[in-house]
Amino acid sequence: MKTIKTDICVIGSGSGGLSVAAGAVQMGARVVLIEKGEMGGDCLNSGCVPSKALLHGAASGMSFPEAMTHVRQTISAIAPHDSQERFEGLGCTVIREAARFTSPKSVVAGDHSIKARRFVIATGSRPFVPPIPGLSDVPYLTNETLWDLSECPSHLLVLGGGPIGMEMAQAFVRFGAEVTVIEAGCVLAREDEEAAAVVKQALISEGVRFLERAEVTQVVGQGGALTLTLSNGQRISGSHLLVATGRRANAEELGLEHADVDCTRDGIRTGANLRTSNRRIYALGDVLADHPRFTHVAGYQAGVAIRGLLFGLSARLREDHIPHATYTDPELAQVGLTEAEARQVHGDKLEVVRTEFSGNDRAIATGRAGPGFIKLMVVKSRPVGATIVGPEAGELIALWSLAISTKLKMSRIAGMIAPYPTLAELNKRVTSAYFTPRLFDNRKLKRVVQAIQRLVP
């Protein structure tokens, strides 16, 4: 067995792992990067990239085979940036094997034993498959196997009404499939209720059927003919089943018991500095317990981890400014507190202002002035949350992430100028909605203006 001594050993080549490896090696650290699967992780190969490419194909009027070709071409275009060749070119030692800790200071991967000053666990997550009777005996799809389809399902049953389930439901109904979404609670339950209702209604108008508060108690059948039994006795049949019921951390096979790393069923626990119970070992991304599981979150966490790994700085996570988006049509994006959360936290101190997409000239000109809106939660003249549902919501939310991150006051945001006509004007308009009652419904201000008009020649 070959022994390698290094400064930093990164396990996992998803967004977080690659960001740490690239940053560390380019700043002079010796880095070993270990990956047992495809470089680029879930996001590139079976998550964000292919799903958004498929959504684009569905929205653009492509046939299903054309859209799947577009998916593969998109992955191929991005893959070189995450490739083994690129990271070896940067100076990393890349090992394509499964990693397992043998002690708090060492890992074995294939015929290599790696001893490192610091380790970073960034092994991501996998689809969670619920223990429903019969499910393991029938063919089903997840976000990892969906891309093997060569033909569009005739009737796709989607188990789970979260972002993945909703995005794929809309994509496949646009390809001509019959689609039924089965959700044990309410679809998009973690989102603003009003915004989620806009997305749900849009999918209903396109033909998606929803069965909410419906628990699946049994699955039977075979490929092309599956039947789900619900807790109320109802049965629903379809040709294919997509399981989109959440994610589970990839931590069980790492030998963490040999590394003195605390891990629960939900994933690895760390402090706000991303150090585990073993101070030599950091963890980030989807493998963490009790943290948002998004690609951009892993990238942000990588920046926090690098400060500690390379410079010994006590950088700490913040999560109040982390946005997320569901890429349906209309899109739904959120940063900070929802209205319900903000009312619970801030009570009477909260002000809620909003503006509608229907009043935006760019939305009108491009035929996208639907029932969307921006809702802004403000406390003591600072935004604490923003909800956007409408076209390009994922793009528009970035401004409010910046505002919350830097604790900008509404007066500073009001100084922004957006080009006309753009959807970005909506961010300006919702800021104006905050100041309108202060300016135009202020009797004292009106008296001052009137006095000045009389006095000034």
Residues at the annotated binding site for FAD? 52, 123-125, 286
Q: Mark the binding-site residues, compressed into ranges.
A: 52, 123-125, 160-167, 183, 246, 286
Q: What is the DSSP letter of 131?
A: -
User: Angle between the 163-174 and 48-59 helix axes, to the nearest 10 degrees?
Assistant: 30
Concatenated DSSP letters of 375-440 = EEEEETTEEEEEEEEETTHHHHHHHHHHHHHTT--HHHHTT----SS-TTHHHHHHHHHHHHHHHH
The structure tokens 């998009």 sit at: 188
- Spatial distance between the Cα atoms of 10 and 14, rounded to a whole number of angstroms: 10
Handedness of CA 96, 266, 285, 271 (dihedral sign): negative
- Spatial distance between the Cα atoms of 240 and 226, rounded to a whole number of angstroms: 7
- Burial label, 307 (beta-carbon count in 10 A; 0-12, 13-18, 19+): middle
Q: Mark the binding-site residues for NAD(+), compressed into ranges.
A: 160-167, 183, 246
Partnered with residue 219 across adjacent β-strands are: 228
- Determine the length of the chain: 457
Contact 211, 180 (CB under 8 A): yes
Hey, is 377 helix, strand or coil? strand
Partnered with residue 236 across adjacent β-strands are: 228
| Alpha carbon separation from 299 to 9, 13, 132 (Å, rounded) | 17, 12, 34
What six digits make up the tokens of 169? Answer: 């439901």
User: Angle between the 48-59 and 64-78 helix axes, to the nearest 10 degrees?
Assistant: 140
- Spatial distance between the Cα atoms of 23 and 120, rounded to a whole number of angstroms: 13
